[in-house]
A and B are shown apart, each in its own frame.
Chain A
Amino acid sequence: MSDEIKRGLQSPLRRKLLMGMAALPAISMLSRPSFGAGPATSAVNTTGLAVTDTEVTCGILHSATGTMAISETGSIQAEKLAIEQINAMGGILGRKIKFIQEDGASDWPTFAEKAKKLLVNDKVAAIMGCWTSASRKAVLPVMEQYNGMLYYPTFYEGLEQSKNVIYTGQEATQQILAGLNWIAKEKGAKSFFFIGSDYIWPRTSNKIARKHVENVLKGKVVGEEYYALGSTQFNSVINKIKLTKPDVIFTDVVGGSNVAFYKQLKAAGIDLSKQALLTISVTEDEIDGIGGENIAGAYACMKYFQSLDNPNNKAFVPAFKKQWGEKTVIGDVTQAAYLGPWLWKLTVEKAGSFDIDKVAAASPGIEFKGAPEGYVRIHENHHLWSKTRVGRAKLDGQFELIYETADLVEPDPFPKGYQ
């Protein structure tokens, strides 16, 4: 048994397990949870996955190096924390989760190659991984060909659904529509200026947002601008914003451009406490780089903020900080990544098997009541029912919750009338 687990857990379950395992070597009993009391391996693993009597192997596939390491580090940390916590509770079906971490290195073909390695060589029972849509699109054919299970954490543009993927982040309509409705009602907003980075997610999201603004809210889009990924000069578009005076600036700028955009917005004298700005791409992680003073007052719409006030989150945030340092912040995607291992555990236990087909079939309807964002449930389309929330950025880099939908929002990856 490897030494992933440092902390034992004094639970009745553990004591029961210990009593039933007198035959195991004494070394594994010393202040560690013990594994091996689950159902027979032949019953829970009929397809030759890496499952033994005491262990089950899963893969973690993110970029630890390259451009995307900025964003994906938080997801890796959250997944490791979830796995450790599950192991401390006795693992899945009496088996300890062992993980194999591979580095996608911010390069999409590498992601596909590593996914294949995890499925074919390591026979992992599930993969927690990918971040950008491009990496997911590269991995998807591999998952389908070799029948794997991917838990994907990022909010994304939708227009996808697969038996072999569980999407733990929000798809575009879930994230955007409630936020637009709120700002239209709250601020009486009629005119919108869209600005985004130039790739598939902002373009699809803005398309959805434009249809909603024009057809449902009966408002007007006075500008729609895209800048190449990595652009650092936004003075011209800021002048256009000044000229068109929109009620709301709606942004999905990502990466290093984000920092440049908000710094220059502030330098140009646009005061975000007076000019409403709604972003779908800035989480607590991004504010670390932007600086709280440059973005205070902006609204973000997503499903999770670190400041959420509920018992699950109050346990999750300190546990995360204890593991990864007092200064780390937790953004929307990090939380969604944390859900992956838990949803997998619950699904496997419901299916009574690690077999991919049975896990995929058992996924719809799985409820996770311990999610830091609150209750979530897996939909038939393998996305999550979740609430959408609007937060206002504060000087200290945290969000203050302003609004949340009363009910869970249904995931709709192929929205009619928005394509």
Chain B
Amino acid sequence: MFGDYSLGDLGSIFVMQGFAGLILFSVYVLMALGLAIIFGQMGVINMAHGEFMILGAYVTWMTSNLFQTYLPGLFAGYFFLAMILAFLASGALGMLVEWGLIRHLYKRPLDTLLATWGLSLILQQAYRSIFGAREVGVELPPWMLGSLKVTDSIEVPINGVFVMCLTVLITIVVAYVMYKSRWGRQVRAVVQNRIMAGAVGINTEKVDRYTFGLGCGIAGIAGSAFTMIGSTGPTSGQLYIVDTFLVVVFGGAASLLGTIASAFSISQTQSTLEFFMSGSMAKVLTLLAVVGILMLRPQGLFALKVRK
């Protein structure tokens, strides 16, 4: 397939293909981060993760409409406010769900799967009733559209670069919060030994609620960012849920580093394979590879060492 092309052409295609892989990597990290916290730290199998993302997307859509109507002059910058609002909305809903549903199920982790799956159906139908069954189009500020021309033949999509920067920023913030802050230490203490953590005076219920809220809030930011590259409809969240779980489980549930490593390997495999064969074949081979590795290493790529 490369016979007719000059070396320069091929070179720029490979550079752009490299970027495609990096963008896919950022997308995977961004959607998996929230789940890595909820599933990895709390052990809750949150099937409604995609719906929390879509809540963020709908918040972005509403913010964009508000700015167009009332503050057209500031439209170029609305996206940053939208992401903050998306974080707050999804986070608040997450805390509400934790209080009303999840906290009754900590002793029955498998039941969280059913309960949150039901929750995802309820949320989907709620979006359908509130926003309509059809997809909504989120209008983006003009500077986020189009591509950066690096050289004559190399073009890099701006929204891809934006997602990459956002992913790096959020990963750093999450890593800092989880591993350096006092609150993060409390979270990890509760995960490792709930009773002891309670005994030394940590309010475990409060820690649970905020952890779940943080995970959902990050999902909201991811949803907000994905309005740039994907669709916003009542069931769009379902498009992400499988890949998200794949990344988290493959990485080793309790490890942030594992999530990043797993997102990197899955995205690079997939985007390289996609270039040489058809999209659905690439997906099949990627999944086969993941299944194969998980058979050899059921705990995922990175796992906490625990004394059994």
Contact = CB atoms under 8 A, between A and B. Distances in A.
B236 interface: yes
Contact of B149 (A224, A263, A269, A289): A269
Nearest to B232: A289
Interface in B125-168: 125, 128, 132-139, 145-147, 149, 155, 157-160
A266 B149 CA distance: 14
A73 interface: yes
Interface string A151-167: 00000000000000000
A259 B280 contact: no
A236 B271 contact: yes
A19 to B, nearest CB: 45
Interface in A207-234: 224-228, 230-233
Given A69-B128, A267-B159, A268-B155, A228 B283 contact: yes
SS of A interface (majority): helix
A231 B231 CA distance: 11
A259 B230 contact: yes
Contact of A237 (B23, B226, B233, B279): B279
A293 B23 contact: no
B279 A231 contact: yes
Interface residues of B, number: 51
B275 interface: yes
A381 interface: no
B279 A226 contact: yes
Contacts of B45: none
Contact of B17 (A64, A233, A236, A266): A236
Interface in B6-35: 9, 13, 16-17, 19-20, 23-24, 27
Given A65-B125, A65-B128, A239-B275, A263 B135 contact: no
Nearest to B136: A289
A70 interface: yes
A271 B52 CA distance: 34
Contact of B137 (A233, A237, A290): A290
Contact of A227 (B16, B23, B235, B279): B279
* B145, B228, B271: residue with the most chain A Cβ atoms closer than 10 Å: B145
Contacts of B128: 65, 69
Interface string A231-249: 1110111111011000000
Interface in A264-279: 264, 266-269
A257 to B, nearest CB: 8
Given A239-B20, A266-B146, A256 B134 contact: no
B13 A288 contact: no
Contact of B278 (A65, A226, A285, A287): A226
A256 B279 contact: no
Contact of A288 (B17, B20, B27, B135): B135
Nearest to B226: A232
Contact of A232 (B125, B230, B233, B234): B230
B5 interface: yes
A247 to B, nearest CB: 15
Given A239-B16, A243-B13, A67 B145 contact: no
Nearest to B239: A230
Interface in B188-244: 226, 228-236, 238-240
Nearest to A328: B134
A236 B160 CA distance: 13
A287 B139 CA distance: 12
Given A256-B231, A260-B229, A269-B157, A291 B138 contact: yes
Given A198-B280, A289-B233, A291-B139, A235 B228 contact: no
Contact of B230 (A236, A242, A260, A292): A260
A66 interface: yes
A263 B229 contact: yes
B7 to A, nearest CB: 13
Interface residues of A, number: 46
Contacts of A258: 231
Contacts of B23: 235
Interface string A67-93: 101100100000000000000000000
Contacts of A230: 238-239
B135 A256 contact: yes
Nearest to A263: B229
A293 B16 CA distance: 24
B270 to A, nearest CB: 8
Contacts of B145: 266-267, 293
Interface in B109-134: 125, 128, 132-134
A236 B231 contact: no
A302 B20 CA distance: 33
A256 B233 contact: yes
Contacts of A236: 17, 20, 271, 274-275, 279, 282
Given A227-B280, A243-B13, A289-B232, 6 more contacts: A70-B234, A230-B239, A233-B270, A289-B134, A289-B231, A292-B137
Interface of A: 64-67, 69-70, 73, 198, 224-228, 230-233, 235-240, 242-243, 255-260, 263-264, 266-269, 285-293
The 10 closest A-B pairs by CB, nearest first: A289-B135, A259-B231, A235-B20, A267-B157, A236-B274, A227-B279, A269-B147, A291-B137, A256-B231, A69-B133
18 contacts: A67-B235, A70-B233, A73-B133, A232-B231, A235-B23, A236-B20, A236-B279, A237-B274, A239-B20, A243-B5, A256-B135, A256-B233, A256-B236, A268-B147, A268-B155, A269-B146, A285-B134, A288-B136
